[in-house]
Amino acid sequence: MRLRVSHVTRYRFDVPVRGVVQSHRLIPAECEGQKVLDWRVEVEGATWGAAFRDGAGDQVRTMVLRGPVREVAVAIAGEVETTDTAGVLRGHREAVPPLAYRRTTRRTRPDKAIAALVRRALEGCDTAPDLDRAHALAAAVADAIVYAPGETHAHTTAAEALAQGAGVCQDHTHVMIAAASLAGMPARYVTGYLHASSEEGAHEASHAWAELHVTGLGWVGFDAANKCCPNEHYIRVGSGLDAEDAAPIRGVTRGGAEESMQVTVAVEAAQQ
């Protein structure tokens, strides 16, 4: 399947700032299941640093804008050819060992309620393969959190999302990572894109899901928000310990100013 992405992130400042420095993780990962046919990241007036691949195998690039700056627009346009690998990540070069993803963060730290969820999900699965246990966790998280935009915010933790029983893909992913940590499975947060119609469940075009490291298979994706593993409708971009660590854009500004952000993103099937 060929997927075409149009994505603009616009930052506005109430007063001009002296400069902006950003680190971008915006280029789709190189791996089996997806081939980048065309991809451009543009910021008017920017000076670009060298691109490099970090230890997690994600492509990173820095960008500098010298002031005065009142607005920054990061525009992405590209096309990717995808195939279904049943969620299994193959051909992705990375140096960070899976055990590094056993640690949790403030956003993914499990509490008693998450521990109880894991016990119920894995009851009778003591000798089951890792893949079966991972699917059981994903199903439990999907049932425990209703997809409901606007019920949580960027800083909501896994424990808070589970207590609320509602959230978006970020919340499903944080709870999935917290649950996997209690089950003894390395897990990480993945950012990317999803092509879906309004009838196909959680259909945020800019999307997130979890990857769990499964014995015998390696990293396998689980999208609890949509009750499936990533397929040809998904584009994988980057990863991290949680939403903040995996953020596609991170930056600092020189000069105090109030900042607002507007995001428009669309993913559509391109004509073959």
Could you tell me if 231 and 104 lie in one domain?
Answer: yes
Could you tell me if 138 and 116 lie in one domain?
Answer: yes
Could you tell me if 168 and 230 lie in one domain?
Answer: yes
For residues 158 and 179, what is the distance between their CA atoms, to the nearest angstrom? 9
Is it true that the peptide bond before 28 is cis, omega within 30 degrees of 0? no
For residues 27 and 19, what is the distance between their CA atoms, to the nearest angstrom? 24
The pTM (predicted TM-score) of the whole model is 0.94
Q: What is the pLDDT of residue 199?
A: 55
Position 205 confidence tier, pLDDT thresholds 50, 70, 90: confident
For residue range 206-241, list pLDDT tens digits in order.
999 999 999 999 999 999 999 999 999 999 999 999
Could you tell me if 175 and 255 lie in one domain?
Answer: no
Could you tell me if 96 and 143 lie in one domain?
Answer: yes
For residues 178 and 136, what is the distance between their CA atoms, to the nearest angstrom? 14
**132: alpha, beta or left, given left = phi > 0 and alpha = psi -120 to 50?**
alpha
Could you tell me if 74 and 94 lie in one domain?
Answer: no
Number of domains in the chain: 2
For residues 168 and 149, what is the distance between their CA atoms, to the nearest angstrom? 6
Check pLDDT > 80 for residue 132.
yes
| pLDDT mean over 130-139 | 97
Could you tell me if 137 and 77 lie in one domain?
Answer: no
Could you tell me if 120 and 223 lie in one domain?
Answer: yes
- Residue 209: count of CB within 10 angstroms of its CB: 27
The residues that bridge with 250 in the sheet, in sequence order, are: 23
Could you tell me if 171 and 230 lie in one domain?
Answer: yes
- Domain of 76, CATH number, reads 2.60.40.2250
Q: Using DSSP bridges, classify how beta strands 146-147 and 166-167 pair: parallel, antiparallel or unpaired.
A: parallel
Alpha-helical regions (H) of the chain: 112-121, 130-144, 158-164, 169-182
Check pLDDT > 70 for residue 46.
yes
For residues 211 and 180, what is the distance between their CA atoms, to the nearest angstrom? 10
| pLDDT mean over 126-151 | 95
Q: For residues 28 and 58, is the Cβ–Cβ distance under 8 A?
A: no
Could you tell me if 154 and 213 lie in one domain?
Answer: yes
Could you tell me if 127 and 223 lie in one domain?
Answer: yes
For residue range 171-201, list pLDDT tens digits in order.
999 999 999 999 999 999 999 999 986 555 4
- Domain of 133, CATH number, reads 3.10.620.30
For residues 7 and 205, what is the distance between their CA atoms, to the nearest angstrom? 9
Q: What is the pLDDT of residue 164?
A: 96
The separation between CA 97 and the C-alpha centre of its own chain, rounded to angstroms, equals 19
Could you tell me if 40 and 12 lie in one domain?
Answer: yes
Q: Which domain holds residue 154?
A: 84-240
